[in-house]
Amino acid sequence: MNSGRIESTEALQVQLMNQGLPDNRKSSRVSREALNISGVFLLCVIALLAARWINPNAGSFQQLETVLILGAFLVVVAFGQGLVVLIGGLDLSIPSVITLGGILTTAWVGADGEEWKLFAVLGICAGVGALNGLGVAVFKVPAFIMTLAMGIIVYSLSLGATGGAPSGVSPTDLTWLMSARTFGVPVIIIFTLVGAVFAYILQARTRYGTRLYALGSNPVAARFAGLHTVHLTVMTYSLCALLAGVTGMLLVGYSNGATLRMGEPFLLPSVAAVVIGGSAISGGRGSFLGTLAGALLLTVLDMIISSLGFSQGWRTILAGAIILFAILLQHEGAMDYLRSLHRRNSRTSA
């Protein structure tokens, strides 16, 4: 009797996960996702070529190398944000966790510190994410409110602990990671490529990733099918915060120090990269390759804006406009309107 019930539950769980998979895994939607990702990568190339018109030195191999190095920060943090968005959530504490990771790295480890403490720093960052997940999954606090409140708390603690002036320098290993080369290629680019392969496999080819799609597609059905939705939510928010901590460490290695505002530039771009890549802000649909393409595109556009001498405010405006435009394109009503407008224009021209 019990074995039959278990088999029935497992069968229902498999069926749910198959239904929870994003539509782009079906053959009719594969080409749509591939076209979307290819289009974003193509926009990156076009933007690099356009940059040569602004700056003759732009578009060179050295410029491409710079884009990949600077894009590594956004790729790491956007991957975590993408996982949270996949389950229908949103993490607004990312800037504070990035800052926390950077401050703890310089204060606890430093140039001559014990490298094992880096794992302790990541554990603390992951703990912040676990609190976010518990608040969302157990106490049913909206993700927007929970992560915003947690971000304020973490930032306030960082401000109080440092007195507004973080001390310390980057650990030697992080400095090496951000500056060393092997076979003429920056080590951080190799590190990012290896991490990208791991991220793709985790999201698209593992049981964990499959369950995230199922949870984001239909949370109620996921619970009835026996998925541990609380565990999945807590794990996902923890992983997002851990990746934010990794981003803080990389920034410390790049600049050899930490500041209280080092995480602020990554909040809107992390969301924009995910949405540009085709992820549904309501959850259940998305891919890491799309997030990767979106992160690189934003990095290229940010480089162009910097070349034009615009301030950080214009960069924020651009990120916000891109998010709004991408969400409007995903809305079925907007797409139906564009299709009807196209058909109307076709009939008029005919």
Helix 61-86 vs helix 207-217: crossing angle, to nearest 10: 60
Average pLDDT over residues 286-297: 93
Return the percentage of the chain with pLDDT > 70, whole number: 82
How confident is the model at residue 43, as a pLDDT? Answer: 84
Average pLDDT over residues 197-207: 96
Average pLDDT over residues 118-145: 97
How confident is the model at residue 31, as a pLDDT? Answer: 62
How confident is the model at residue 3, as a pLDDT? Answer: 47
Average pLDDT over residues 116-135: 96
Residue 327 clears pLDDT 50, i.e. is over it: yes
How confident is the model at residue 2, as a pLDDT? Answer: 45
How confident is the model at residue 236, as a pLDDT? Answer: 98
How confident is the model at residue 313, as a pLDDT? Answer: 78
Q: Rounded to whole angstroms, what are the CA distances from 47 to 40, 53, 272, 322? A: 10, 10, 17, 15
What does pTM read for this prediction? 0.86
pLDDT range class, residue 202, cuts 50, 70, 90:
very high
Q: Are 209 and 202 in contact (CB under 8 A)?
A: yes
Residue 1 clears pLDDT 90, i.e. is over it: no
How confident is the model at residue 225, as a pLDDT? Answer: 86
User: Who has greater pLDDT, 84 or 329?
Assistant: 84
Average pLDDT over residues 337-345: 61
The token pair at 254 is 């790049």
Q: Are 59 and 51 in contact (CB under 8 A)?
A: yes
Q: Are 54 and 304 in contact (CB under 8 A)?
A: yes
How confident is the model at residue 317, as a pLDDT? Answer: 82
How confident is the model at residue 309, as a pLDDT? Answer: 73
Provide the mean pLDDT of the chain. 85
Q: Are 250 and 178 in contact (CB under 8 A)?
A: yes
